[in-house]
Amino acid sequence: MNSSSKLVLYNFSHSSCSWRVRFALKLKGLDYEYKAVNLVKGEQFSREFEQLNPLHYVPVLVDGDVVVSDSLAILLYLEEKYPQRALLPDDHQRKALNLQVASIVCSSIQPLHMVTLAKRIEEKVGPEEGILWALSIIEKGFYALEKLLKDFATRFATGEELYMADMFLAPEIDTVAKRFNIDMLVYGLESCDRDRSAYPILSRVYEAYKTVPEFLAASPEAQPDAVFFTPPA
Can you tell me the distance from the alpha carbon of 30 to that of 22, in angstroms, rounded to the nearest whole number? 10
For another protein (CB under 8 A), the number of binding residues is 39
Cβ of residue 137: shortest distance to another protein, in angstroms? 9
Would strands 60-63 and 7-11 be described as parallel, antiparallel, or unpaired?
Answer: antiparallel
Can you tell me the distance from the alpha carbon of 106 to that of 149, in angstroms, rounded to the nearest whole number? 17
Applying CB under 8 A, which of residues 45, 103, 210, 217 lies at the interface with another protein? 103
Give the nearer residue to another protein in terms of CB position, either 95 or 204. Answer: 95
Applying CB under 8 A, which of residues 45, 48, 93, 115 lies at the interface with another protein? 93
Can you tell me the distance from the alpha carbon of 125 to that of 146, in angstroms, rounded to the nearest whole number? 30
User: Is residue 55 within the footprint of another protein (CB under 8 A)?
Assistant: yes
Q: Of 107, 163, 169, give the one whose Cα is nearest residue 142.
A: 169
Cβ of residue 206: shortest distance to another protein, in angstroms? 21
Can you tell me the distance from the alpha carbon of 92 to that of 69, in angstroms, rounded to the nearest whole number? 26
Give the nearer residue to another protein in terms of CB position, either 86 or 226. Answer: 86
Give the nearer residue to another protein in terms of CB position, either 151 or 190. Answer: 151
User: Is residue 99 within the footprint of another protein (CB under 8 A)?
Assistant: yes
Runs of H (alpha helix) within 82-199? 92-103, 115-125, 129-149, 164-179
Applying CB under 8 A, which of residues 3, 47, 51, 92 lies at the interface with another protein? 92
Near another protein by CB under 8 A, which window of 38-46, 95-103, 195-203, 216-224?
95-103
28 to 13, 33, 85, 133: CA distances (angstroms) = 20, 15, 5, 36
Cα within 13 Å of Cα(60), Cβ side: 21
**Residues 174-213: x where in contact with another protein by CB under 8 A, - otherwise, as a string:** ----------------------------------------
- Residue list 107-146, contact with another protein (CB under 8 A): 107-108, 110-112, 124-125, 129, 133, 140, 144
Q: HEC states along 65-82?
A: CEEEECHHHHHHHHHHHC
Q: Given the rule CB under 8 A, which residues bind another protein?
A: 54-55, 65-70, 72-74, 76-77, 80-81, 92-93, 95-97, 99-100, 103-104, 106-108, 110-112, 124-125, 129, 133, 140, 144, 147-148, 150
